[in-house]
Amino acid sequence: MVGMEQEILDLAQDLAEIGRLVDDDDVSTVLERFVRRVVLSVPECEEASITQLKQDRPDILARHHKTAAQVAEPSRVALAEQLSASSGPLQETLLYAEPRRIGDLASDHRWPDFNAAAINAGYRSCLFLPLHAAGSVPAAFTLFSVKPEAFGTTSYDVVLLFALHAGVAFDNITLYDNSMQLIEHLQSALQTRTVIGQAQGILMHRYDINSDIAFDVLKRGSQDMNVKLRHLCLQLVDAQHAGKLTEVLQHYGLSQ
């Protein structure tokens, strides 16, 4: 009993660690940690992957094998193609948010093309679990075993625990990634606004005009020369610092 309790505590700690966001993390990095730990923790699990539904087809975001045999790579590539097919057990899990389990790939005849690819890759059973993430795009866990009838009650509970944590991590890293992109866009917009203001100030000082007229002049130069407004303004600011403002103004037709 004490041993089981310690295993549960170790698993809980592992889940907390692999779900923790660190600098430069992205969706793939976090999910890679999950699938590696699943393969290490779930009894008889040889391979695990996390897949997302993109443009009505499964897209593998993270995948890990217990063994890295080079000779097995062609069959694993073929299996990945079947996993990404628009029909099959994984597609059904993604579409309907329902688990799919194949106890013995050799005797199950529901998805013959998928089964053949999985058997050729050395597997005999597999499990598909939906990830319960808050996002609108469906995602799923896939597990393979070289033994038939793997992933019984105990291992299923462990996988389910991983799936729940992976769903939360998927939401967190997606929110984090979206937030970082928003920050980058805001920083870029702020930099653009700053450099436009500097260019306006240069024209205001040179031609004794107000800010509105200076901005109209900049827009005219941008349109006439078919360049982005920010690029034109950067050119003017750099030229001012380099003592070449007159040349740049002439180049853009803004010398008068």
> pLDDT tens across 71-126, in order?
578 898 999 999 988 888 999 999 998 989 999 999 999 999 999 999 999 999 99
Q: Work out the average pLDDT over 135-161.
A: 78
Give me the mean pLDDT over the 42-51 stretch: 89
Ramachandran region, residue 88 (left: φ > 0; alpha: ψ -120 to 50; beta: rest): left
pLDDT for residue 52 is more than 80: yes
pLDDT over 60 at 23, yes or no: no
pLDDT beyond 60 at 15 = no
Q: Tell how strand 125-131 and strand 100-102 pair up.
A: antiparallel
Architecture of the CATH domain 189-251: Orthogonal Bundle (1.10)
Of 78, 99, 95, 97, the closest CA to residue 142 belongs to 99
The residue to which tokens 């993430």 are assigned: 133
Is pLDDT at 178 greater than 90 in this prediction?
no
189-251 has the same fold as 2-180: no
> For the whole model, what pTM was predicted?
0.60
Rounded CA-CA distance 86/81 in Å is 10
144 pLDDT band, cuts 50/70/90, is very high
Q: Domain 2-180 maps to which CATH number in 3.40.50.300, 3.40.630.30, 3.30.450.40, 2.70.150.10? A: 3.30.450.40
pLDDT of the residue at 5: 47
3-state secondary structure of 50: strand
Q: Given pLDDT bands bounded at 50, 70 and 90, which one contains residue 41? A: confident
Mean pLDDT across the chain:
80
Q: What integer is the mean pLDDT of 201-227?
A: 88
What's the pLDDT band for 16 if we cut at 50, 70, 90? low
Q: Where are the domains of the chain?
A: 2-180, 189-251
13-34 mean pLDDT = 61
